[in-house]
Structure 1
């Protein structure tokens, strides 16, 4: 499923009307009809009291259709018009005229007080937000600001936003001032970019994209390169398949390079994630001083203890590691490595010693390489970076705020500029490829906000690479499983109590669910 912004949706609507010949009033009718279908599903057979708040644009036009169709179904909706009807034009005016010509009830805000409106809202079961839609830029003006405040002050009301909650930017999710806090959002054709960034996730509630007869094939016809949404079905199609006659050599051998005197657990979490998600073998290359502790905690792994200096890898460590590198299918570097003098040079020497294995770079390895990104361009294999916003800020010499405000474009441009596969972590993680593809992971929450969670993600990515997945596929599958694990384990353990290894308990069972028996049998 694609994700679109305001301009892309406008162009797709225009193409449908001008090139395909489907009038705007029909699209508006379809939109209202689809929202009504969702309202009926929420009501579960009970007729509810509905207040439809409508502005004067196309979003308001959708509201006119919704109110009329609910009336025809025997409900008792009330259309609240927040603007002077004389200013309504185009397709919206057509549907308002139909509504008025039928003599259906209207509450004109300009003829009443806000207290009158508040009373009506209090006595409604469902409030439909058809006020502003996707065209919002900047703070909402009056009377919309006050009306939105009234709606948000109500408790235990079902608030259904039409296309997007009013006040939320459809392009970046920013809210300046007030915006509707919806319990549900019924959006048209594709989810909007603003659903997933900045303030957006806090306002949209549960969302669903519905068909209004704008064909998704228009994306290709218009030459758009829209972000795509990570879904369970997509992940199922990308999960590496396991032949029944496979063995540990079939499923790859991964190398994890990391650890330091102060950070013993990080590489262990990564290694456990590698094995728990299907790789055949994992070797841990760690400073020799922490080897005894690490080996007792992770007997499933193989180990390469390397020389160290002051608790970090020494200059000789790469020389010790180099004769063994050809046996590995992919390499992850960074978990628990911490920062040390000459660390960037050390990592570059390791990269030069590799052949063409996929390389996952995480944690302090990202910081140590921040001034040497151009030197990575000559590497013949795939390079994957997995920064959180703070690490991304270091890579680009930006503030965390600057990174968070433009996550999508920053991720896309970084991947294209440096030829790197990027997973920009965060509340809604973004995957970007060197050729400009972008994926948005709509899952995950605060249960993942704990030290070690990122190391588990690094291990998952490394595991799927070792099993033969393409870099972007490994990122999609690992990011999804990691985020969903946090969500599902929080239901059992609470948002407070999810630990890194708890994530792997869910990942193991979900991999089994995704790799359905009949899929595995086809690959014998």
Structure 2
């Protein structure tokens, strides 16, 4: 499913109204009805007192229509308008004028005193509807609007937001000074990007996408930049062939691990096997082969010298690189001259699918020329700190602009970027995928090694780089969610994620 920005949704509305010919007032009525269908699923809503907070634009118009529909169902409802009704125009004005003909209480918030009296009079059992600002909110909220939103958030009443929580930027999830903390957001037609990205995603509560009668013609087959990784990605899992052998499912080479971080190589290799890779070979620092064999006997293991004898192993390592269908380099390796030499060796092989992770990325950040010397399929899997080093920006800049930084980096370097964060972003030259799955229990040591291992296991099975990256993030996140149900967020470990992969793959 695609996600749209505010500008893109505005164009979809325009096309629907001007090109297809569906009147805007019809869409507003459809939106109100769709919102009501979801609201009526709330337990005891028929016996509730509903306060509908309305702005002066089309989002407020939706609120006026919702209030009318509540009244028709004999539900007690009050409309609160932030500002003067004289400023209401268009379809919102039509629905406001209808309200005036019905026995629905309307209160105006024109001063802080008006707001104070309203808050003092609101019943504790009341349900709030937030129809203050919609997807056009792109500047900081201040004055009475800000005070009203803060007052709503300060109460314990459930708030249902119309399309977006007021104050969440539809384009990027940024908070426009303040924002409604919704219990549920009922969004129209398509998900908005701002509902997926943090910090906005923390304000949405449950998100439900509802149909308001916009024909698919208005948005299908158009080049939207944002797509969502969701449960439907299970349909993309690789199929097993009846007539096959281990070589059919690819050869993955994992160059990982060092004296104090050999677990990284084990986690990567186990993950690659769990997603169906046929053969996994680990190249790791010499002296730890027995530990690797004991932990994952299915893998082929070779050691190399991380000292002055490094050159003795070059021919054997080059043979391993040529043998592989896909290569992962970096996890647990440490950042030194030997990691740099190995990275150079790998990148020279233009016909290989390559993933660079962890210390491979740290070395790359100081040797960016390596990325541009050869043209082939490269996937990088940085966390926020590694991305900051790669781009020479601080972590706060990256956190606030994950889509922009990952997309720019992918376009500049013609690679795929898997930027790991609360909402992992998979960027390619034409756009991004936003991951909607996973949980905070996955913020644990080794979780990134599991993801890298999953992706190289998929790449080895002849999956295209973009599909391997997006499907890898799906499998990793889905397995994390399954593991969370068993272990909880606090106790979740990387090995638990690996154990849950088989459930995802069935």
Check if 1:123 corresponds to 2:118: no
Partner residue of 1:493?
487
Contact 1:160–1:182 under 8 Å retained in 2: yes
Give the SS at the match of 2:479. helix
Contact 1:355–1:381 under 8 Å retained in 2: yes
Q: Which moved more, 1:336-345 or 1:445-454?
A: 336-345
Show CA shifts across 1:446-480 (max 9, x none).
Answer: 21111100000001111111222221111112111
Partner residue of 1:343?
339
Partner residue of 1:471?
465
- Counterpart among 256, 265, 268 of residue 266 in structure 2: 268
Show CA shifts across 1:298-325 (max 9, x none).
Answer: 2221101112228xx9344443211233
* 1:338 to partner: Cα distance: 1.3
* 1:394 to partner: Cα distance: 0.8
Aligned length: 505
Partner residue of 2:294?
296
Instruction: Give TM-score, length-normalised by structure 1.
Output: 0.91
Give the SS at the match of 1:143. helix
Aligned pairs for 1:372-521 within 5 A: 372-377=367-372, 379=374, 381-434=376-429, 436-512=430-506
Once residues 47 and 314 of structure 1 are traced to their aligned partners in structure 2, the CA distance between those partners, rounded to angstroms, is 76
Contact 2:54–2:61 under 8 Å retained in 1: yes
Contact 2:142–2:177 under 8 Å retained in 1: no
Give the SS at the match of 1:135. coil
- Counterpart among 322, 326, 330 of residue 326 in structure 2: 330
Once residues 360 and 4 of structure 1 are traced to their aligned partners in structure 2, the CA distance between those partners, rounded to angstroms, is 30
Give the SS at the match of 1:179. coil
Give the SS at the match of 2:51. strand
Give the SS at the match of 1:63. helix
- Counterpart among 240, 255, 274 of residue 253 in structure 2: 255
Partner residue of 1:149?
150
Contact 1:184–1:206 under 8 Å retained in 2: yes
Show CA shifts across 1:417-468 (max 9, x none).
Answer: 111011111000111123x131110122221111100000001111111222
Once residues 369 and 47 of structure 2 are traced to their aligned partners in structure 1, the CA distance between those partners, rounded to angstroms, is 63
Partner residue of 1:227?
226
* 1:491 to partner: Cα distance: 2.9
Contact 2:172–2:193 under 8 Å retained in 1: yes
Once residues 288 and 44 of structure 1 are traced to their aligned partners in structure 2, the CA distance between those partners, rounded to angstroms, is 67
Once residues 142 and 482 of structure 1 are traced to their aligned partners in structure 2, the CA distance between those partners, rounded to angstroms, is 44
* 1:358 to partner: Cα distance: 0.9
* 1:194 to partner: Cα distance: 1.3
* 1:486 to partner: Cα distance: 2.4
* 1:220 to partner: Cα distance: 5.4
Partner residue of 1:173?
173
Contact 1:289–1:308 under 8 Å retained in 2: no
Partner residue of 1:517?
none
RMSD: 2.0
Once residues 205 and 486 of structure 2 are traced to their aligned partners in structure 1, the CA distance between those partners, rounded to angstroms, is 22
Q: Which moved more, 1:17-26 or 1:182-191?
A: 17-26
Contact 1:288–1:308 under 8 Å retained in 2: yes
Check if 1:89 corresponds to 2:83: no
Once residues 402 and 117 of structure 1 are traced to their aligned partners in structure 2, the CA distance between those partners, rounded to angstroms, is 40
Give the SS at the match of 1:255. strand
Contact 2:384–2:419 under 8 Å retained in 1: yes
Q: Which moved more, 1:111-120 or 1:224-233?
A: 111-120
Give the SS at the match of 2:128. strand
Show CA shifts across 1:20-69 (max 9, x none).
Answer: 22222111111111111110122377543211111111110110011111
Q: Which moved more, 1:462-471 or 1:388-397?
A: 462-471
Q: Which moved more, 1:53-62 or 1:376-385?
A: 376-385
Partner residue of 1:520?
none
Give the SS at the match of 2:56. coil
Once residues 333 and 182 of structure 2 are traced to their aligned partners in structure 1, the CA distance between those partners, rounded to angstroms, is 43
Counterparts in 2 of 1:403 and 1:33: CA distance versus 1, 3 Å: same
Counterparts in 2 of 1:107 and 1:504: CA distance versus 1, 3 Å: same
Contact 2:46–2:75 under 8 Å retained in 1: no
Once residues 45 and 467 of structure 2 are traced to their aligned partners in structure 1, the CA distance between those partners, rounded to angstroms, is 42
Once residues 492 and 242 of structure 1 are traced to their aligned partners in structure 2, the CA distance between those partners, rounded to angstroms, is 28
Contact 1:135–1:170 under 8 Å retained in 2: yes
Give the SS at the match of 2:411. helix
Aligned pairs for 1:103-122 within 5 A: 103-110=103-110, 113-122=114-123
Give the SS at the match of 1:494. helix
- Counterpart among 310, 315, 323 of residue 314 in structure 1: 310
